[in-house]
Structures are given as structure tokens and as C-alpha cells.
């Protein structure tokens, strides 16, 4: 069983994208499933898709 997340968010140009990840060993290939100009919105969507609890942004907001 893999401990790698099924979804990940990364910068894409001036936006942030959420990718559905497929792994072969340690190499991951992503398919974009969400796009936002706001980093925290992309992070929140990534958490939702992974089934994780979202607790606000990293700055405690």
C-alpha cells in the first residue's frame, strides 16, 4: 500500500492546480482536476479530495 497522496496541489503559472496522482514507484504523474488563482483554495480542495481534515491556512487564519 502506498503512503503517497492521491491528490496534490502545485503552482501552475500564476495559478494553483490540484492533480490526481498516479504513481509508478517514486515517480508520480498528475492529471489536473482543479485550478484556482488562490493557493489556499487549491490546498482546501486537495484536502477535501484526499479525505483529510482541513484546519485553515498555514498561518492560522
Q: How confident is the model at residue 3 (pLDDT cuts 50, 70, 90)?
A: confident
- Could you report the per-residue pLDDT of 5-60, keeping only the tens digit for each? 899 999 999 999 999 999 998 899 999 999 999 999 999 999 999 999 998 866 65
Length of the chain: 61
Domains of the chain by residue range: 7-50
The 10 Å Cβ neighbour count of residue 11 is 10
More confident residue, 46 or 2: 46
Query: Residue 51: which of 4, 1, 6 has the closest Cα?
Result: 6
* Predicted local confidence at residue 5, as pLDDT: 86
SS3 at position 38 = coil
Q: How confident is the model at residue 4 (pLDDT cuts 50, 70, 90)?
A: confident
Amino acid at each position: 500500500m502506498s503512503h503517497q497522496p492521491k491528490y496534490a496541489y502545485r503552482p501552475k503559472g500564476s495559478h494553483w492546480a490540484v492533480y490526481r496522482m498516479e504513481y509508478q514507484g517514486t515517480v508520480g504523474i498528475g492529471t489536473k482536476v482543479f485550478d484556482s488563482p488562490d493557493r489556499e483554495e487549491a490546498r482546501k480542495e486537495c484536502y477535501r479530495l484526499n479525505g483529510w481534515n482541513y484546519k485553515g491556512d498555514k498561518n492560522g487564519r
